[in-house]
Chain A
Amino acid sequence: MSAVPAQGYLILALILFCIGLFGALTKRNTIIVLISIELMLNAVNLNLVAFSKYGIHPNITGQVFSLFSITIAAAEAAVGIAILLALYRNRRSVQINEMDTLKH
Chain B
Amino acid sequence: MGLLSLLLFSPMIGLLLISILTKNSDHKSIHRYAVLGGIIPLVISWVAYIQFQGHNQLAERVSWFSYQGGQQSFVIDYELALNGFRLALILLTTLIVMLAILASVKQITKNPRLFYQWLFVLELGILGVFASDNMFLFFFFFELTLIPMFFLIGKWGHVEREEAAYKYVIYNGLGSAVLLIAIVAVFAQAGTTNFEAVQAYMAQRDDMAFQVGVLIAFLVAFGVKLPIIPLHSWMVSVHVYAPPAVVMIHAGVLLKIGAYGLLQFGSGMFPDAFPVFAVTIAVLGLINLLYGAFLALIQDDLRKVFAYASVSHMGIILLGIAGMNTAGYQGAIFQTISHGLISALLFYLVGILILRTGTTNLKKLGGMWTAAPVLSGLFLTGALAGLGLPGMSGFVSEFMAFVGVFEQLPLFGAVGVIGIILTVVYFLRAILNMTFGDPRKNKYEKMADIGKGELFPAGVLVAFIILIGVYPDSLSQLLQITLETLVTGMGG
**Are chains A and B touching directly in their complex (CB below 8 angstroms)?**
no
Question: Interface of A with B (CB < 8 Å)?
Answer: none
